[in-house]
């Protein structure tokens, strides 16, 4: 079995009366890309802060590379490339200062790779971080997170400051390359089409709880858009376990269905109908269905 890079067990975090993280169990194997998705305030950043040792677990345990990030920061942080949502870079530095400064921190800094990224990201050496655009700053932050070739890359909403071209062409390529090299990536995002393109696994968080955590392929296999034709017309949608988000009227209804594909036909037959059509669901559909259901 591949090494567990991240191992979070029963993690709880409260702010006042609110549970920002509610019994989170999450593991991530080496070489995997995990997309962490959830609405604003779902708890994504709070989880990432625990992985970085910036927050101590109130309950439960957090291990990264088998170590506790709070008690062993050097053992953990020296191997993590991190891009924060805020992109907190020293704004008074120029790009070349930032590269020299970061190189001094990391023994594994790859100067040739850093320079390649700088060109790809179209960053001038003499540009001042405080004077470039938000997107350019996000690229500079990404350069620093990548250039020492970390074993684990943590990206908190990496797309928020990046324009669509950089996102699609560069970020996706980088993430895939990193995983192909056997390194591990966890990135949070609310852009589900992007998560769908690059992730091996997807974890959905809603109000501090993990509502879905599985291989992307398995998620796609166990969620389908279905059209149902009933023998008798109905004013209310039929009751079929696992089906949510019903639309339709009379004899024709459609929904998103979650379950073992083999159980669909018998379940629809039991509800007095047949499956008239089925198709793949997008991660967006799946997220809305789960978030809505949980609400």
Ligand X SMILES: Nc1ncnc2c1ncn2[C@@H]1O[C@H](COP(=O)(O)OP(=O)(O)OP(=O)(O)O)[C@@H](O)[C@H]1O
Q: How far is the CB of 65 from ligand X (least distance, A)?
A: 23
Burial class (CB in 10 A: 0-12, 13-18, 19+), 142: buried
Q: How far is the CB of 52 from ligand X (least distance, A)?
A: 13
189 binds ligand X (CB under 6 A): no
Q: How far is the CB of 63 from ligand X (least distance, A)?
A: 20
Of the pair 44, 79, the CB lying nearest ligand X is at: 44
Single out the residue of 255, 265, 249 nearest to residue 293, CA to CA.
255
Q: How far is the CB of 209 from ligand X (least distance, A)?
A: 12
42 binds ligand X (CB under 6 A): yes
40 binds ligand X (CB under 6 A): yes
For residues 5-34, which are near ligand X according to CB under 6 A? Answer: 15, 18, 20
Candidates 22, 26, 33, 38: give the one binding ligand X (CB under 6 A). Answer: 38
What's the length of the chain?
295
Alpha carbon 94 to its chain's center:
31
Q: How far is the CB of 190 from ligand X (least distance, A)?
A: 6
Maximal C-alpha separation, the chain: 73
50 binds ligand X (CB under 6 A): no
Which of the stretches 23-31, 44-52, 111-119, 254-262 binds ligand X when contact is defined by CB under 6 A? 44-52
Q: How far is the CB of 160 from ligand X (least distance, A)?
A: 9
84 binds ligand X (CB under 6 A): no
Candidates 8, 28, 37, 46: give the one binding ligand X (CB under 6 A). Answer: 46
What pairing do the DSSP bridges indicate for beta strands 4-15 and 59-64?
A: antiparallel
For residues 228-267, which are near ligand X according to CB under 6 A? Answer: none
Alpha carbon 25 to its chain's center:
15
43 binds ligand X (CB under 6 A): yes
Of the pair 20, 179, the CB lying nearest ligand X is at: 20
Which of the stretches 39-47, 76-84, 97-105, 143-151 binds ligand X when contact is defined by CB under 6 A? 39-47
41 binds ligand X (CB under 6 A): yes
Of the pair 189, 254, the CB lying nearest ligand X is at: 189
Of the pair 46, 254, the CB lying nearest ligand X is at: 46
44 binds ligand X (CB under 6 A): yes
Q: Which residues bind to ligand X, rule: CB under 6 A? A: 15, 18, 20, 38, 40-46, 85
């Amino acid at each position: 079995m591949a090494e567990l890079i991240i191992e979070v067990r029963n993690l709880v975090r409260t702010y006042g009366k609110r549970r920002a993280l509610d019994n989170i169990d999450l593991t991530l194997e080496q070489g995997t890309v995990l997309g962490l998705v959830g609405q604003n305030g779902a708890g994504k950043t709070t989880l990432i802060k625990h992985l970085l040792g910036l927050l101590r677990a109130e309950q439960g345990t957090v291990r990264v590379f088998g170590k506790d990030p709070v008690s062993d920061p050097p053992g953990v942080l020296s191997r993590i490339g991190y891009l924060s949502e805020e992109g907190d870079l020293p704004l008074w530095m120029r790009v070349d200062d930032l590269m020299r400064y970061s190189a001094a921190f990391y023994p594994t800094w790859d100067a040739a790779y850093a320079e390649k990224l700088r060109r790809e990201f179209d960053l001038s050496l003499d540009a001042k971080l405080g004077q470039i655009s938000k997107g350019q700053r996000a690229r500079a932050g990404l350069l620093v997170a990548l250039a020492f070739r970390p074993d684990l890359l943590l990206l908190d909403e990496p797309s928020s400051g990046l324009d669509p071209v950089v996102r699609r062409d560069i970020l996706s390529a980088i993430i895939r390359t990193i995983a192909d090299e056997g390194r591990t990536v966890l990135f949070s995002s609310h852009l589900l089409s992007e998560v769908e393109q690059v992730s091996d696994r997807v974890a959905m968080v809603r109000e501090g709880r993990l509502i879905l955590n599985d291989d992307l392929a398995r998620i796609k296999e166990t969620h389908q858009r279905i059209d149902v034709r009933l023998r008798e017309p109905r004013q209310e949608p039929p009751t079929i376990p696992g089906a949510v988000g019903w639309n339709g009227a009379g004899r024709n209804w459609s929904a998103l269905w979650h379950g073992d594909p083999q159980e669909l036909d018998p379940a629809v037959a039991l509800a007095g109908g047949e499956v008239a059509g089925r198709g793949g669901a997008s991660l967006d559909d799946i997220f809305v269905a789960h978030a809505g259901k949980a609400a």
